[in-house]
Amino acid sequence: MSSSREKANMVSLGQARGKAILLGEHAVVYGVPALVAGLEVGARARATIASELAVDWVDERLPASDPLYEALARLTAAFNAPPVHLRLELALPSGMGLGASAALGVAAARAVRELGTRPSEPLSPAVDAWERVFHGNPSGVDAAAAELGGVLRFVRGEKPVPLELKTSFDLCVCLAAPPASTKEMVEQVRRGRDQDPAAFQAKLDEIGQLVDAGALALSSGDLDHLGALMSRNHEILRSFQLSTGELEKARELALEAGALGAKLTGSGGGGALIALGDPGPILSAWKTQGFDGFCSRIGGSPT
């Protein structure tokens, strides 16, 4: 264990992944499992002991009124750490349903934990406290993917289960449209449930079946089947009125470029779309039509 003097001069680093929900968003709110993938890109944090809390966004000092200070205070309390100077970098777009705040939280927690007296403390309770500053009542799916990577089977309130992947694969992410409010999208889905509970439950049941089939497809390396499951999940999400013209256009372009499947990811109403397939043609098709995108190797190392 490091001495207090050693820690005073220590630079502690942390990194974490972003996330993309492969199958099961929105349904996870109602107890249905989801499959979530950790992205290669994410967040980095650098922490040093200081006389008072300080947070830098890359090279810019943030004002003490920024909510990141409250989030950082929760981390130092969780790990019994002294005040720290935290420097954050994010390689993900924020607000697009790709787990940016959880990636920052996990990276920061990893950096701060090494400066406290509880270096063996689990990350998840501290990251949950961080996430509550920004999201009120987070499901935990973003934080699990940020910490663990790979592909996880996630049920709210239960420990996430890592899946064994037969093969790694490329996931293309399109930043298709400005994001909508997650809260508003969740409420929209809830209204649909209230209008026709039986039809809604049937769709939840089908999503659960898609998730189970997706886990089997990943374990056997059947990416064609996984793509078909993703596309069917998108159709159900579209029936919840969660898609947009931009998302549909980006999806059409991906499929025409040879994607095995494509769907919105996250809360919908805008935001990101994911496509399974060869990155070159898919990213080129998006770029030609003015869409920004990137590719992540699922099962790779974070950068």
pLDDT tens for residues 47-82? 999 999 999 999 999 999 999 999 999 999 999 999
Beta strands 151-154 and 34-49, pairing class:
antiparallel
The structural domain count of the chain equals 2
Single residue among 162, 182, 199 that ends a domain in this structure: 162
Residue 184 and residue 281 in one domain: yes
Residue 53 and residue 183 in one domain: no
Nearest-angstrom CA–CA distance, 280 and 128: 37
Domain hosting 218: range is 169-298
Structure tokens at 78: 């969780």
Closest to 106 (Cα-Cα) out of 65, 141, 82: 141
Q: Please compute the mean of the pLDDT values over residues 35-55 and round it to a whole number.
A: 96
Residue 204 and residue 125 in one domain: no
Closest to 250 (Cα-Cα) out of 298, 295, 292, 280: 292
Residue 83 and residue 99 in one domain: yes
Residue 204 and residue 267 in one domain: yes
Residue 208 and residue 193 in one domain: yes
pLDDT over 90 (residue 295) = yes
215 inside domain = yes
Residue 25 and residue 94 in one domain: yes
Q: Residue-wise over 95-128: b if at least 16 C-beta within 10 A, else e?
A: bbbbbbbbbbbbbbbbbbbbbbeeeeeebbebbb
Q: Please compute the mean of the pLDDT values over residues 91-106 and round it to a whole number.
A: 93
Q: What is the pLDDT of residue 6?
A: 65
pLDDT over 50 (residue 303) = no
Residue 152 and residue 202 in one domain: no
3-state SS class at 211: helix
146 inside domain = yes
Q: Please compute the mean of the pLDDT values over residues 76-101 and round it to a whole number.
A: 95
What are 65-68's contacts with CB under 8 Å, separation 24+?
67/133, 67/134
Residue 201 and residue 83 in one domain: no
Share of the chain above pLDDT 90, in %: 85
pLDDT over 70 (residue 191) = yes
128-186 pLDDT, tens digit each: 999 999 887 777 889 999 999 999 999 988 989 999 999 999 999 999 999 988 889 99
The model's pTM is: 0.90
303 inside domain = no
2-31 pLDDT, tens digit each: 556 667 778 999 999 999 999 999 999 899
Residue 187 and residue 106 in one domain: no
